[in-house]
Amino acid sequence: MKRIVTLTTDFGQGDYDTGVLAGVVLRLAPEARVIDLSHAVGRHNVLEGALLLDRCTPYFPEGTIHIAVVDPGVGTARRAVAARLGRQCFVGPDNGLITLMRARALSAALMVEIVQLNRPEYWLAEVSPIFHGRDIFAPVAGHLAAGTPLEQLGDFITDPVLLEIPEPQRTPSGWRGMIMHVDAFGNLSTNLAQGLLAGAGRLKVRVRTTQIDGLVRTFGEGAPGDLVALYDSSGKLSVCVVNGNAARRIEAQVGDPVEVIVE
Amino acid sequence: MKRIVTLTTDFGQGDYDTGVLAGVVLRLAPEARVIDLSHAVGRHNVLEGALLLDRCTPYFPEGTIHIAVVDPGVGTARRAVAARLGRQCFVGPDNGLITLMRARALSAALMVEIVQLNRPEYWLAEVSPIFHGRDIFAPVAGHLAAGTPLEQLGDFITDPVLLEIPEPQRTPSGWRGMIMHVDAFGNLSTNLAQGLLAGAGRLKVRVRTTQIDGLVRTFGEGAPGDLVALYDSSGKLSVCVVNGNAARRIEAQVGDPVEVIVE
Amino acid sequence: MKRIVTLTTDFGQGDYDTGVLAGVVLRLAPEARVIDLSHAVGRHNVLEGALLLDRCTPYFPEGTIHIAVVDPGVGTARRAVAARLGRQCFVGPDNGLITLMRARALSAALMVEIVQLNRPEYWLAEVSPIFHGRDIFAPVAGHLAAGTPLEQLGDFITDPVLLEIPEPQRTPSGWRGMIMHVDAFGNLSTNLAQGLLAGAGRLKVRVRTTQIDGLVRTFGEGAPGDLVALYDSSGKLSVCVVNGNAARRIEAQVGDPVEVIVE
């Protein structure tokens, strides 16, 4: 079975041991296809990892196994888990990375099954207390890819750690959301979904001391340097500077409130 | 059929959704091999993308499909295309990225066929106006890799957008070219090809206020810190500092003229 | 035969021609699996490349072929080699990159065979004097992956270039080692192995003007900002700041001595 195994980490550009995860997977599952999903999650930024998995995993084939190593608690008492979340699988720390993948599966009435990784016979023989990605998650994903059933890898749990994902609030004049993520280009992504706002009429977007009147569909509708609001590729309201850096321009950061006024 | 599909983007190191392109391709063509060619093209730098494709694609097997997402006009009226350019294929925006691949195929008397991507049945069901890489190019490449003939993906066009690539000019004493690309190490690559200059005798190279007498074959022939001229790995005259940064040293940039004096 | 071929280079994030190596390999060995091991080795840092290969290659399946392009002497008289080092293979410059892989194979009483790459029929037709990775190492690795025996690729040699790897020294109160590597997070990795120090009693670690009393098992045992000593994922004593940068904090660099006092 040619299962796809993806790698998502916060190892960044300077660290070099991302390839070793592929080696461990392929030793156990020679037919697996290993894909780098991203190694650019902010260091220890579990929310950012959860948002990325939510945004990207729906585009992968059924049966794909996603290893995620954003793991500030590695080597402490935090649990490690493997999970079937609808049509795909997850292996990683039990720190909330699965929050949005799990919610998506549940809202589609798909199966969610989570096991705590407590069977060392599926790990490497030696486990470094600071690199469970290589020594626990990758071998467990390799076994899954090679056909070992999920339930064999550990005991079922029903209390995974989940992040509190801030929800947009209704206001008299529209909605109040917040900036969830600032990407490398300084684009400000919010928790305000297109599904929530679409059809609501003309919108004004307020963030920090700035107000943007109306949305554009795509960057090409603004001139270079324009501050614009648009729906990003995951359908979330986003504030951007065309060919520029919105975070720097308006000095905004994750957590800042974003007001939408419906006219 | 195990087609190779390569990914070239300007997403840079900070963006994380390069892996999602592989997911989309593999959903449609489970046997395809997805290779990251480069995600380090300068943002919106179509010429740099065209140079990279020209430099790298000849090394790939026949039938390889190259997805290129350097797409400043995404979501505007710019067309999207798929093309057979000699023995390889291209999928991406119609903004000139194919210029040099196409010229190379034509000069080898190989077939060039280009279709405009205007058949949404080969795209994802939902198309974000800002991420055609994921929603149009990757699924079209997936269909191609799975065996769908090019002509089924859209209507033939004969007027693709092409870049004007500056050609070196003959001068009384030699040639005048220009800097086409500055890489991350500050090496200055020109449009002066080895085939043009080789055998011409001893060369002097003038760029900015500097003159270099003679060429070296490789970096090891200079001492650390030396400013040298040599033919780079794509056979173009290049100005470099051994273990250093020529762009910074002589304050040169893309577009600066480069004079070659033949003695 | 589905051989795995890994790529390790010092091309960094800004250079874009790493993907071309995969193209060359796949032209010769269509069934091979190409894995990016790392492209973040410090430029021309052969010792760092050797440490990385030592740390990562044991996790790959038997028969894996590792291409390493950390090659300051490219195009000069330095030799190129292919080698069987125990259960895995290496292709790259003869500059010491194999030092630790070779030592590991010898200490396990496994076979070590090295050939000098002097048969151009296994290279690309044109060889750039500045990019042997693409024109010599990748095609040789492709031939190896496709089943060509090692001994066919060149003549055996017994005098490969080897690095002098500094060994820790016994002192009256413990051991003196040195900083071998500073990673992107500023963690300071030493040549003091867990096997050497474990069981020795409570340790004090001195580096620059700082002393650390005792080791932690994992980052989570310290508070953010704490300077700690622990065994890193390759089992070497490492000095780190929890969620911070030890190199910057204590102004340490590669080559600085590290004293361990055993109590």
pLDDT value at residue C237: 96
Q: Report yes or no: C67 and C91 within 8 Å, Cβ to Cβ.
A: yes
Q: What pLDDT, in 10s, does the model give residues C204-229?
A: 999 999 999 999 999 888 899 999 99
Residues in C closer than 8 angstroms to A19, CB to CB, are 6, 8, 35-38, 56
Chain B residue with minimal CA distance to A41? B16
- Model pTM? 0.94
pLDDT value at residue A1: 58
Q: What's the whole-number mean pLDDT along residues A166-173?
A: 94
pLDDT value at residue A30: 94
CA-nearest of B64, B53, B152 to B93 is: B53
Q: What pLDDT, in 10s, does the model give residues C130-156?
A: 999 999 999 999 999 999 999 999 999
Token pair 């969610």 is found at A112
pLDDT value at residue C1: 58
Of C40, C220, C243, the CB nearest to A14: C40
Residue B27 makes CB contacts below 8 A (sequence gap 6+) with: A59, A60, A61, B142
pLDDT value at residue B219: 87
Q: What percent of chain A has pLDDT over 90?
A: 81
Q: What's the whole-number mean pLDDT along residues C118-126?
A: 97
In this prediction, residue C15 has a pLDDT band, given cuts at 50, 70 and 90, of low
Q: How many interchain CB pairs under 8 A, B with C?
A: 98
Residues in C closer than 8 angstroms to A130, CB to CB, are 218-219, 230-233
Give the minimum alpha-carbon distance from A179 to chain B in angstroms, rounded to a whole number.
17
pLDDT value at residue A85: 98
Residues in B closer than 8 angstroms to C74, CB to CB, are 218-220
Of B23, B73, B130, the CB nearest to A59: B23
Q: Indicate yes or no: CB of C61 within 8 angstroms of CB of A128.
A: no
Q: Indicate yes or no: CB of C26 within 8 angstroms of CB of B41.
A: no
Strands B210-213 and B33-38: unpaired
Asked if A233 is an interface residue toward chain B (Cβ–Cβ < 8 A), one would say: yes
Q: Indicate yes or no: CB of C17 within 8 angstroms of CB of B55.
A: yes
Asked if A221 is an interface residue toward chain B (Cβ–Cβ < 8 A), one would say: yes
Chain B residue with minimal CA distance to A61? B27
Q: What pLDDT, in 10s, does the model give residues C56-72?
A: 999 999 999 999 999 98
Asked if B14 is an interface residue toward chain A (Cβ–Cβ < 8 A), one would say: yes
pLDDT value at residue B147: 97
Give the minimum alpha-carbon distance from B102 to chain A in angstroms, rounded to a whole number.
26
Q: Report yes or no: B249 and B227 within 8 Å, Cβ to Cβ.
A: yes
Strands B257-262 and B80-85: unpaired
Q: What's the whole-number mean pLDDT along residues A85-104?
A: 98
Distance in angstroms (rounded) separating the CA atoms of residues C11 and B185:
9
Distance in angstroms (rounded) separating the CA atoms of residues B161 and B164:
10
Residues of chain B with pLDDT under 70: 1, 13-16
Of B43-47, B66-70, C98-102, C237-241, least confident by mean pLDDT is: B43-47
Q: Indicate yes or no: CB of C23 within 8 angstroms of CB of B41.
A: no
pLDDT value at residue A149: 98
The ipTM is: 0.93
Q: What is the largest CA-CA distance in chain A?
A: 63
Residue C93: is its pLDDT beyond 70? yes
Q: What's the whole-number mean pLDDT along residues A193-216?
A: 90
Residue C157: is its pLDDT beyond 80? yes
Distance in angstroms (rounded) separating the CA atoms of residues A83 and A105:
11
Asked if A217 is an interface residue toward chain B (Cβ–Cβ < 8 A), one would say: yes
pLDDT value at residue C42: 86
Chain C interface, mutation test: which of B218, B226, B228, B240, most C Cβ atoms within 10 Å? Answer: B218
Residues in A closer than 8 angstroms to B125, CB to CB, are none
Of A40, A59, A218, the CB nearest to B13: A40
Residues in A closer than 8 angstroms to B44, CB to CB, are 243
For residue B161, give Cα distances in angstroms to A10, B80, B108, B153: 39, 11, 21, 19
Give the minimum alpha-carbon distance from B94 to chain A in angstroms, rounded to a whole number.
15
Q: Report yes or no: C30 and B31 within 8 Å, Cβ to Cβ.
A: no
Residues in B closer than 8 angstroms to C12, CB to CB, are 184-185
Distance in angstroms (rounded) separating the CA atoms of residues A177 and A187:
16
Q: What's the whole-number mean pLDDT along residues A53-74?
A: 95
For residue C97, give Cα distances in angstroms to A14, B133, C114: 20, 39, 13
Q: Say if residue B126 is exposed, middle or buried (CB neighbours under 10 Å; 0-12, 13-18, 19+).
A: exposed
Residue A14: is its pLDDT beyond 60? no
Is C196 or A83 the better-scoring residue by pLDDT? Answer: A83
CA-nearest of A107, A77, A103 to A90 is: A103
Asked if B74 is an interface residue toward chain A (Cβ–Cβ < 8 A), one would say: yes
Q: Indicate yes or no: CB of B19 within 8 angstroms of CB of A41.
A: no
Q: What is the largest CA-CA distance in chain C?
A: 63
Residues in C closer than 8 angstroms to B9, CB to CB, are none
Chains in contact with C, where contact means 3 or more Cβ–Cβ distances below 8 Å, are: A, B
Give the minimum alpha-carbon distance from A105 to chain B in angstroms, rounded to a whole number.
18
Asked if C130 is an interface residue toward chain B (Cβ–Cβ < 8 A), one would say: yes
Residue A162, helix vs strand vs coil: coil
Residue C234: is its pLDDT beyond 80? yes
In this prediction, residue A40 has a pLDDT band, given cuts at 50, 70 and 90, of confident
Distance in angstroms (rounded) separating the CA atoms of residues B107 and B72:
29
Q: What angle do CA B52, B57, B63 make, to 5 degrees?
A: 150
Of A49-58, A216-225, C120-129, least confident by mean pLDDT is: A216-225
Q: What's the whole-number mean pLDDT along residues C74-91?
A: 96
Q: Say if residue C147 is exposed, middle or buried (CB neighbours under 10 Å; 0-12, 13-18, 19+).
A: exposed
Asked if B101 is an interface residue toward chain C (Cβ–Cβ < 8 A), one would say: no
**Mean pLDDT, rounded, of chain C:** 94
Q: Indicate yes or no: CB of C23 within 8 angstroms of CB of B185.
A: no
